[in-house]
């Protein structure tokens, strides 16, 4: 089964009775602690946090999306009842048949529903957790795939990283991604996660 967006994937997980909604958890350490507690359980669900204090209802946080074999299978269009071993073999088969989808430039669609220009962009409107006590700020993404490409030499790099909100940064980590953004304005960045 293919999913067009995160909403459809969450509905698919609901169909497996695999979603736990939590209302009223706070962004500062509480959501992170709950995610960690649930992650240690054998059959942990996808967690959907809503009614986060200080934010409008329906500004939600989804956690544990695909880190359980059942939801990994769901995301890949495989049978969620597969054993872990069967899932690995099916996943290996899928990767062997993978055909990249070329990008399309579109002028309208869901991507543009919440478009902002640089002056009106305010990432603090989103409930962004500080997941752990020693975190240097609030992380909007904790397993983001970031693909950067340099148009002049067609080189690209793919990294998995955490995405901190700039307004909450307690310190600059000096990571390559932050250096690339400031040194090379021609670098195109795509992010999924």
* Closest of 160, 187, 155, 190 to residue 175, by C-alpha: 160
Q: How far is CA 28 from the centre of its chain?
A: 19
pTM above 0.85, yes or no: no
| pLDDT at residue 1, rounded to an integer | 66
Averaged pLDDT in 10-residue chunks for the chain of 193 residues: 88 96 97 94 94 94 92 94 95 89 83 79 87 88 75 74 69 42 39 40
**Residue 75 · residue 1 · CB < 8 Å:** no
| pLDDT at residue 174, rounded to an integer | 43
Question: 2: exposed, middle or buried (C-beta count within 10 Å: 0-12, 13-18, 19+)?
Answer: exposed
| pLDDT at residue 84, rounded to an integer | 93
* Closest of 156, 143, 146, 150 to residue 190, by C-alpha: 146
Instruction: Report the C-alpha gap between 58 and 55 in whole angstroms.
Output: 9
């Amino acid at each position: 089964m293919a999913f067009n967006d995160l909403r459809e994937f969450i509905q698919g997980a609901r169909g497996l009775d695999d979603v736990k909604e939590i209302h009223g958890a706070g962004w500062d350490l509480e959501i992170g602690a709950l995610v960690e507690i649930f992650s240690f359980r054998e059959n942990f669900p996808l967690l959907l946090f809503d009614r986060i204090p200080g934010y409008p209802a329906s500004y939600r946080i989804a956690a544990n999306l695909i880190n359980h074999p059942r939801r990994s299978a769901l995301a890949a269009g495989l049978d969620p009842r597969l054993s872990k071993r069967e899932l690995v073999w099916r996943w290996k088969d899928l990767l062997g048949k993978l055909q990249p989808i070329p990008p399309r430039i579109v002028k309208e669609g869901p991507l543009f529903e919440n478009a902002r220009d640089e002056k009106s962009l305010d990432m603090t409107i989103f409930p962004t957790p500080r997941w752990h006590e020693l975190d240097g700020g609030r992380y909007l993404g904790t397993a983001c795939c970031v693909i950067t490409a340099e148009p002049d030499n067609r080189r690209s790099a793919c990294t998995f990283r955490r995405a901190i909100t700039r307004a909450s940064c307690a310190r600059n980590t000096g990571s390559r991604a932050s250096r690339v953004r400031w040194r090379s304005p021609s670098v195109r960045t795509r992010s999924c996660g």
